[in-house]
Amino acid sequence: DLFVSKDGKFKANFPGSPTRDVQMVATEAGDIEMISFVYEKSATEASMIAYSDYPSSLIDAQDPMSILKNARDGSMEGNIVESNDEMKVNGWPAIRTRAIDKTQNLHYVLEVVLAKNRLYQILMVRDGSYPDDAAVEEFFDTFEITMKK
């Protein structure tokens, strides 16, 4: 199902209708609001797109890949990272990571994308094994940032 977030300035094909959530996240820059859209296929599989706006001064002072690596490391802390691929999403810098949480046997596919001062996190998680490649492609490859470059 094509999901469009006007405020989030993105669209993507979620496997079902996502639920919106807002929470404050502690960062080096202070508390930042993270808005997420989550679809739980089952108790063992979920898809999420989240975004946060960081102070422009913080973003402008750092290399985009450093910001993405820090975001990825924060999200995947304590997990075993199996792969990292630097890439572009709609022309914006991005990193796709595959990681495993050995204690809970959760398998993550995470993509972090930096568009201006907005950090997007696209995530699929599954218990026991990585999400199906076709499902990952359908979700990640349809993610599109709609803000102007």
Total-model pTM? 0.94
Averaged pLDDT for residues 49-70: 89
94 confidence band (pLDDT: 50, 70, 90):
very high
The rounded Cα 136 to chain-centroid distance in angstroms is: 13
29 pLDDT above the threshold of 80:
no
**Angle value at C-alpha 84, between 2 and 48, nearest 5 degrees:** 30
Per-residue pLDDT, 149 = 81
Mean pLDDT (the chain, rounded): 94
